[in-house]
Amino acid sequence: KAMSIPQIRNPSLPPPEKMSEAYSAKIALFGAGPASISCASFLARLGYSDITIFEKQEYVGGLSTSEIPQFRLPYDVVNFEIELMKDLGVKIICGKSLSVNEMTLSTLKEKGYKAAFIGIGLPEPNKDAMFQGLTRDQGFYTSKDFLPLVAKGSKAGMCACHSPLPSIRGVVIVLGAGDTAFDCATSALRCGARRVFIVFRKGFVNIRAVPEEMELAKEE
């Protein structure tokens, strides 16, 4: 289907220098993942001209780059969106984290920023008490442990030439039935697992993963 979403600054807008003062307000976004990239891109298309994204890592893309495997989301696709955003005039500063080295909302306000968007995601996994103390050496991974290893070993832009895929052997059980769980399951097969089972509490009608990802996993 065709979608009426322009990839460029709205051509009907006047030149930046003739826009009202509100459109030159300084806007800060924290985290350079999908949420901030989308937010910054649409703000730029609407005519805002002073947009800066602060990212704590030295790479851009968030989980699209660091956690979603290459076979699900190729690096070139992510990089295309990043470059498109930069072409719209959005600035990116890496190595800057919220609440570190006086990088706070208060200091941004003092520097003239008029708005801030927090898109830092969930940096730490939710781990049930029954799994506390288990380690990778024992064969236990959270998605935040496993998927970054897969992404780093499969995406050329994430130094895949230097990072091997994790080695998985035997039978794997994945707890959960969302998109992330299915990414873990299909990745485990590609990393050498003999069989993979997805275990979840409810029926098939309650699976939260998109249907095509579930079907792909079943075929594999």
Give the span between the Cα atoms of 148 and 204, in whole angstroms. 28
Contact predicate 191/167, CB 8 Å: yes
Give the span between the Cα atoms of 148 and 142, in whole angstroms. 10
Q: How many residues does the chain have?
A: 220
Backbone angles phi, psi at 139, to 5 degrees: 85, 15
Helices first, then strands: H and E counts in the chain: 7, 6
Give the span between the Cα atoms of 152 and 165, in whole angstroms. 8
Backbone angles phi, psi at 38, to 5 degrees: -65, -45
SS3 17: helix
User: The domain at 16-118 falls in which architecture?
Assistant: 3-Layer(bba) Sandwich (3.50)
For position 160, what pLDDT does the model report? 47
Domain 129-219 belongs to what topology?
FAD/NAD(P)-binding domain (3.50.50)
For position 6, what pLDDT does the model report? 64
Tell me the domain boundaries of the chain: 16-118, 129-219
With a CB cutoff of 8 Å and minimum separation 6, the contacts of 11 are none
For position 56, what pLDDT does the model report? 92
Q: Comparing 16-118 with 129-219, is the CATH topology the same?
A: yes
User: Which residues of the chain fall below pLDDT 50?
Assistant: 160
For position 158, what pLDDT does the model report? 60
Give the span between the Cα atoms of 48 and 40, in whole angstroms. 9
